[in-house]
Amino acid sequence: MTKTSIPERNEIDDKFKWRLEDIFSSDKKWEEAAETVKKELPEFKKYEGHLKDDAQTFFNFLKFSDKVSQLIEKVYVYANMRLHQDSRSSFYQSQTNKAEMLMVDLSNSTSSFVPEITNIPDDTTKKFMSEKPELKIYAHYIESITRKKEHVLSPNEEALLAKMGSFSNSAEDIFSMLNDADITFPKIKDENGDEVELTKGRYIQFMESKNREVRKSAFNALYETYEKLKHTIAAAYYSNVKKDVFYSQVRKYPSSIAAALDDDKIPSKVYDNLISSVHKYLPLMHRYVKIRKKLLGLDELHMYDLYAPLVEDADMKITYDKAKQIVIKALAPMGDDYVSSLKKGLEGGWIDVYENKGKRGGAYSWGAYGVHPYVLLNHTNNLNSVFTLVHEMGHAMHSYYTWKTQPYVYSGHKIFVAEVASTCNESLLMEYMLKNTTDKKTRMYLINYFLEQFKGTFFRQAMFAEFEKKCHELVENGEPLTCDGMCEIYRKLNEQYFGDGLVIDKHIDFEWARIPHFYSAFYVYQYSTGYTAAIALSRKILKEGKPAVDKYIDFLSNGSSKYSIDLLKSAGVDMTKVEPFEEAMSVFEKLLDDMEKEI
């Protein structure tokens, strides 16, 4: 790979690519599976209206539903991950569309069963479980449905909502294609004065440049590109918010945020505690901004200076092979079983490492039950990429332990706990690196990086969460969402969160326009809460050793077999209280103290 061009996928060594053949050995096998799903779907008809007939029928339905859902999940994941390798591929665009339509067909075929399960009397389900003990495994699943009786509509209404599935994600799909396939950025000059192509994958690399003009050029080029598309993106996001509000209203929730949180039975006070705690501790963030300004020796600190390295000689270039070794050592406190399984993932075709033309930006962990997890990266040989690797492997190991332990019905993870697994890994990595660093300048660099994690994962995601809340409240109150209105909201939040020590550049007003997670309503707050819980859990692991590790592995292994709040409580963290937030902020404050001592 050259510095000035992005390779085509076939130019990258296979050892740096994930092995999707572990899901389906060929596209033909995928087609066969898709056809099997299509043939199986009509079988749901024979169960309609009969779930309360007897225990055996109810059990047969649940097992059949698991079987079909598991297969369609593999079909859907495979097609999408093939497309994410190169979103320009018309073949995989077509396969993905087919998979999405199958998901809609599954939703249509099963739409009547949630209300049907809801209407089965509690005494009947208890009787069924007594008669057929195999049903007891579904107890939590059934309770998670029946507790929301007041929000379930009639079978006909549910069927109608299911049919809307074919276009309910249109706004997200439009933004995704615009953001991943169609958008192009201009070239900028790098540190050597060479013209290089700006991409989303390279953006953070440029923002970490020691050359201020490179940072400024990348910042301006990125946001000027989004600004040209601002009305289209604003229309897409407005449509997405209206969809959220529509679904919450027809399901009789008081608000879209209440609907989103109720899916995992998250008390609203968790969201409220986050926002109020962030506001309480914003002076710490303002203090950090002033430290950064002082260390950089600037008269004015701008948005494009927020990721600049504070220590000139701490230029940490980390290859992918070195990153893997660091991650293995950092996660040693998790125990031998965790580490050996981690190594298997790092070397076993789980990971797609480098950027190529048309590849989806960012990073994620995904996969299908019955196979191993997968991780998509866009590795760029810097410290941030090491943290991305350890973060996504946290997700992957969460899936690995859950899939090894739980039946399919509990194989997923609610985002509220999924981000705990990933950020706990990040916290352990940082503790390892700080412990094994004696060089003063490198230590300052790492302390600042840890502070940046707080800024980016706790404060920044909380700011995103507040932006989402304000946007949804406007629409719920009958107000329109306009591009200018969203820019104004976003600017005021930046002013509030960063304080008067930072120049809030005009271009940052458009940052909301490039955030994909906004299309999954009230998703991002869980990064902040997850980070908070992860700080607490990582310290338990380091202080208590095996007892804490055993609880943590049990947490990873439980999947969605309990509500997220209860899963975390069993691991030792109660997110309905303010104490975890206060503990996290005490760590942040100590890091600020350490940074000031090092200056």
CA-based nearest residue to 553, from 341, 330, 323, 266:
341
392 is catalytic: yes
Distances in whole angstroms, Cα of residue 269 to Cα of each of 122, 155, 277, 559, 566: 29, 33, 11, 24, 15
Query: In angstroms, rounded to a whole number, what is the distance separating the alpha carbons of residues 567 and 136?
Result: 19
DSSP state of 439: -
Sign of the dihedral defined by the CA atoms of residues 554, 529, 465, 518, in that order? negative
Q: Are 198 and 206 in contact (CB under 8 A)?
A: yes
Burial class (CB in 10 A: 0-12, 13-18, 19+), 519: buried
Q: Which of 73, 208, 392, 452 is catalytic?
A: 392
SS3 content of the chain, % helix, strand, coil (to 5): 70, 5, 25
Q: How far apart are CA 9 and CA 357, in angstroms?
A: 7
Nearest CA-CA partner of 483 in 286, 237, 296, 272: 237
Q: Coil, strand, or helix at residue 204?
A: helix
For helices 546-557 and 415-435, the axis angle rounded to 10 degrees is: 150
Neighbours of 92 (CB within 10 A): 21
Distances (CA, A) of 424 to 194, 231, 421, 538, 547: 39, 38, 5, 6, 16
Strand 373-376 and strand 364-367: the pairing is antiparallel
CB-based contact 510:532 (threshold 8 Å): no
The Cα 232–Cα 235 span in angstroms is: 5
Q: Which residues contact 580 (CB under 8 A, 6 or more apart)?
A: 532, 533, 535, 536, 573, 574
Distance between CA atoms of 215 and 82, rounded to whole angstroms?
A: 33
Residues annotated as catalytic are 392
